[in-house]
Amino acid sequence: MPNPILPLNEYVPDVEAHVFGNRVYLYGSHDAPHATRFCERDYTVYSADIHDLSKWTSHGVTYRKNQDPHSINGDPVDFYAPDCVLGNDGRYYLYYCAMGPNTRSFGPISVAVSDKPEGPFEYLGDVHYPDGEVMLRYMNNDPTVLNDEGRIYLYYGWGLGRDFRSKIMKPIYDRVLSKIAMRSVKEVKETKPSILSCAVCELEEDMVTVKEGPKAVLDSKTTADKDSELYHHPFYEAPSIRKFNGIYYLIYSSGANNELAYATSNYPDRDFEYRGVIISNSNLGFRNNTSPENNSGTIHGSVECIDGEYYVVYHRATNNTDFSRQACMEKIQMLEDGSFEMAEMTTSGIDTNWKVRGKYSAAICCGLKTPKPVRLGVGKQQSLPRITEKEGKLILADLIAGCQISYRYLDLTECRGIKLEIKGDATVCVNGREPDSNGIYLIEPKNHATVTLEVVTGHCDIETIEFIE
**How many distinct helices (H) and strands (E) make up the chain?**
2, 28
Q: How many CB atoms within 10 Å of residue 115?
A: 12
In angstroms, the CA 432 to CA 429 distance is: 5
Identify which of 79, 65, 76, 77 has the alpha carbon closest to the alpha carbon of residue 30.
Answer: 79
In angstroms, the CA 403 to CA 271 distance is: 45
Contact 455, 399 (CB under 8 A): yes
Bridging pattern class, strands 247-254 and 358-361: unpaired
Catalytic (active site) residue 436: no
212-to-12, 204, 209, 390 alpha-carbon distances in Å: 33, 9, 9, 51
Catalytic residue among 14, 126, 142, 411: 14
Catalytic (active site) residue 31: no
Q: For residue 174, give the DSSP letter.
A: H
In angstroms, the CA 163 to CA 143 distance is: 24
Catalytic residue among 40, 237, 322, 351: 237
In angstroms, the CA 315 to CA 376 distance is: 15
Identify which of 255, 266, 253 has the alpha carbon closest to the alpha carbon of residue 142.
Answer: 253
Q: Do you find a cis peptide bond into 214, omega within 30 degrees of 0? A: yes
Give the amino acid at 51: H
Catalytic (active-site) positions? 14, 237
